[in-house]
Structures are given as C-alpha cells and as structure tokens.
Structure 1
Amino acid sequence: MSLVINHNLMAMNASRNLSTSYSALAVSTRRLSSGLRVGTAADDAAGLAVRELMRADIKSLQQGIRNANDGISLIQTADGALQIIDEKLIRMKELATQAATGTYNSDQRLIIDSEYQAMASEITRIANATDFNGIYLLNGNLSGENSAHSGAGLASTGPLKVHFGTANDCSEDYYYISIGTATASALGLGHATGAANGKTISTQALAQASLEALQDAIVSKDKIRANLGALQNRLENTVSNLEIQAENIQAAESQISDVDVATEMTEFTRQQILTQAAVSMLSQANSLPRMALSLIGG
C-alpha cells in the first residue's frame, strides 16, 4: 500500500470497523438493559410477529381467568341465597306438619298459615332481590335453554354466558350458566289464590296435601343448587386449565423474546473489546500520514 496523504485508507477501514463494533455494542447494551432479545422488528421479524400473537393470547387468557372467577363468585352468590331459601322451605314444611295434626283448631291453623305465607313471601323477596353486579339470579332471568341466550342488545337475555377463551368457539371458549326460578310461586308454594296444594295450610286437609308440594319444592330447589355446584366445579377446573395454558404460552413467549443474559454478556464483552481496539487503531491510522512529512522534510 502506497504512502499517500490525500486518502487515509487505513483510517477509513478502522472507522468502518469501529462503527460496526459500536453498533453491535449498542444492540447488546439495549438487550441487556431491557432484558429483551427482540426489541424491534429488525432483531427478529418473524419472532416479533409470533411473540405479539402470544402476548395477545396471554392477556386474553388472564382476563378469561378473571371472567371464570367472576362466574364462580356469581354462582356462590346464587347458592348462598338458595341456602337461605332452603331454611325457609324447611320451616314451611315444619309448619305444614304442625297444621296437619288434629290437635289445633281453625284459629290456630290460621295463625300457623300466616307464618307459612310470610315464609313464602320472604322466599319470593330473596329470589327477586338476589343479584350480582346488577344481574338478577333467581327470578327467572337466567333460566331456559342455552339457545335462548342473546347478547345482541345492551342487556343480554337468557342464560348467562361465561367467556374465558381466546376466540369464540363454543366448545373451547365459553359456556352458559342457567339458573332456574326460585320464587315461591315457581316452587308451587304460598300466596293462595285457590285451594291448590302448597298454597295454603289453613285447613288440616290442605296442610296434609301441602306436604307433598313442599317436598317437590325442596327437590326443585336442590336441583338448582346441584346444577350450580356442578357449574362451580367446572369453572374451577377451567381456571386451573387456563392458568396452566397461560403459563406455558408465557414460557414459549419468553424463549422467543427474552435475552439470554450470559450469552449476551459474552457478546457485549467481545464487542466492547473490538470497539476499544478499533478506537486505538483509528488513532494510530490517523497518525500514519505524518510519516510523509519526514520524507518531504528530508
């Protein structure tokens, strides 16, 4: 290579190597400081696309877990109210058994019936008042077949839809909570408008006949509670599955996105040495043209 002064090719080469090493050093610094291997699309375009889809699924699954837990809370609210209704039904059967015996006169049976009717009214009040976040649970609003659900309006109708998946596939992403009506009239009890069994225990015959209606009411209530219990177990299993699924996707996302600190620190050290060496050589290369002065001066 000729000794020239117009073009310092060695300095240009050292400067280019310095720029390359310094850029790589900057990338390693960014990765180590952020903890991310893929910080921009330029780092790994395909990996970035996969990572963002995974992140969307992770967030959706985490919200699905919260949705399922809200569903469990809703079920527990309904079951707690049904437990109180259960106590009222047991008391009503006790009163019917009391009125069915012949040791009470008509006035006493009317007194017994007044408490019976009060219990029926309380059952209806509980059923109509029990709500979760403004959604009434036991008044029949959530009863019916799954096909009766409609979310087209501002307020959904029919069975309650619990959505927990990342898409909208009914077999994977949601199912319904249907809760039967638990008012006294729906259970066939109280508020006499005639002599129907279970409506009143004002006479010995009606009291005796009401015992079977009360038994049926207790069974109907138990079916509602059993269905809710099964749904709660299902939702709890769903939460466990979603947590495992979110954890596994998070692990896969980490493999794509997160930096291996040990490997990247090795690269950082290498680029740091190369950068320092390039700075040193650039300084030396810049001083080489001065040798021409010795020739000119001689």
Structure 2
Amino acid sequence: MKLHNQTMIAFSVTRYQKNDRTMEKTIDKLSTGLAIRRASDNAAGLAVSETIRAQVRGLSQAQRNMQDGLSVLQAANEGLNNVNGLLQRGRELAVMSANETMTAEDRKASQAELDELLKAIDDTAQKLEFNTKKILGENAPLILMVGANPGQKLTVDLVDTSTSALNLTQASVLTSESAEQLIQTLDEAIIKTTGNLTKIGSYYEAIEHHMANTMVKETNLTSSLSKLVDTDMAKEMMNYISQDIRQNSDQLIVSRINQSAGDALKLFNS
C-alpha cells in the first residue's frame, strides 16, 4: 500500500507520457535527419516534398539521358571522321587514275582498293551502333528526353553515310573518264559528310547547353527539398535536451512523493 498525492502523480505521469511521445519523434528526426518521414509529421509538407522529389529525380534521369545522347554523338563523330578519311583516299585514287600515264592493270589495282574503301564505308554505316540502334546507317531521328516533364524533348537527326546515300554505288576508276567523274562525286560526298559532322557538333553543343540548365534546376530544387524535409539538427537537439530535463523532473517528482509516502508508513509502524 502507498500513500501519495494522487493529483500530483497523475499530472506528472500524464506529462511524462506526453513528453515521452514527443521525445520519440525528436529522436527519430535526429537519427534519420528528416523532419518529414510520414504524413502525420506534416501532411501538406509531405505532398509538396514528394512533388519536388519527383522533379529532382526526373531531372537527374534526364541528365543521364542526355549523357547517352552525347555518347551517341561522339560515336557518330568518330564514324563520320572515318568515312571522311576513306573518301579522301578514294579521291586520291580517282585523281591518280584520271592520269593518262596509268595502265589498265594499274587502274584495276586502284579499283580493287576503291572497292575495299567503299565496303569499309558501308561497314561503318551498318555496324556502328549504340545499344543496338544504328547511328550512321539510316536517317531515323533520335529523340532525347531532356527534362522531367512531358514535351521536354530534343530531336537529333541521325544521318545515313552508306555508299548509296553518298551516290557511290557505281564508283569506278577503270577509265580516265570514269575516274574524272568520280572526283566530282567524291567532292560532293565529302561536302555532305563534312556537313553532317558540323550538324553533329551543333547537336552536341545544344545537348551540353540543356545539361547545364538541367543541372542548375536540379541543384535549386534539391536545395528547396532539403529545406523542407531535412531536420534542423541544432533546433531538434535543443528540443531533445529540454524534453529530457522535463522527463527527468517528472520521474524525480513521482519518486520523491512515493518516498515521502514510504516514510509516513514507517511512522505508523513505529
């Protein structure tokens, strides 16, 4: 049996339990670093934070999309440079074969080398791929998602560098006349390939510009999200200390009252 002040103990116990629940939330915030972990923490804040979080993650993925696009353009650039080099060598053969000092056998040897050059051009066009998608073998557009929302896209027009696209399927240096005509055809192919290289460079620059803007947006949104959901560690630490003092005080009050009641019982037993 205990003799105690029911009102004071009931008040202290109630305050202790309330404070215990508050301390649990504070410890949760301190341990996770998050001010909002569940809807009950801040229902409106949670809705806003999840919307911002979706934007941040979308922008992050858009940057990866654009990085893939840059990789495609880098591969296309290398492929076009290779084709350009092959065309330049083909032009040398055409100029050489247009010379009347060449014999028929000489021109046959030049034609054999030219045929291999043309095969190499088609090989580049057909086999240069990124994630199984042809890069230089067709004129299909490459559409990149460069933002977090619908409609934020960039279209990159891929180019066809096959011999048929460059009008080189009938290329011949077997006569001086055909070799001379081929010089003009190769000049046009070189101009077209150089133009494609310029176009690829322009797309590369545009994607880099979009990436820079996306990184700025992501940084700003991440900062806003942090301010909304991250715990103010200094403030929560002060709350924890304050709650700990109150909790210890309530424990002391209940303990002292029970001790006083025990002392009173001893007097009755004397």
TM bracket, shorter-chain basis: over 0.9
Give the partner amino acid of 1:137. Answer: I
RMSD: 2.2
Match among 71, 75, 82 for residue 80 of structure 2:
82
Deviation at 1:178, TM superposition (A): 1.1
Match among 145, 169, 186 for residue 163 of structure 1:
145
Partner of 1:94: 92
Structure 2: tracts of 5 or more residues without a match: none
CA distances 1:47-104 after superposition (whole Å, capped 9, x unpaired): 1111112222211111111111011111111111111111100000111110111111
For the 8 Å contact 2:4–2:257, the answer to whether it is kept is no
For the 8 Å contact 1:161–1:174, the answer to whether it is kept is yes
Partner of 1:107: 105
Partner of 1:24: 22
Partner of 1:14: 12
Equivalents in 1 of 2:197, 2:266: separation in Å? Answer: 103
Equivalents in 1 of 2:161, 2:123: separation in Å? Answer: 10
Equivalents in 2 of 1:6, 1:249: separation in Å? Answer: 57
For the 8 Å contact 2:125–2:137, the answer to whether it is kept is yes
Equivalents in 2 of 1:240, 1:54: separation in Å? Answer: 19
Alignment of 1:209-288 (within 5 A): 209-286=181-258
Tell me the matched-pair count. 269
Partner of 1:63: 61
For the 8 Å contact 2:56–2:218, the answer to whether it is kept is yes
For the 8 Å contact 1:37–1:258, the answer to whether it is kept is yes
Aligned: 1:133 with 2:115: no
Equivalents in 1 of 2:145, 2:156: separation in Å? Answer: 11
Deviation at 1:110, TM superposition (A): 2.4
Structure 2 length-normalised TM = 0.92
CA distances 1:199-255 after superposition (whole Å, capped 9, x unpaired): 212111111121111111001111111111111111122222222211111110000
Query: What secondary structure is seen at the aligned counterpart in 2 of 1:160?
Result: strand
Deviation at 1:128, TM superposition (A): 0.8
**Alignment identity in percent?**
26
Equivalents in 1 of 2:102, 2:203: separation in Å? Answer: 45
Equivalents in 2 of 1:51, 1:271: separation in Å? Answer: 28
Structure 1: tracts of 5 or more residues without a match: 144-157, 193-198
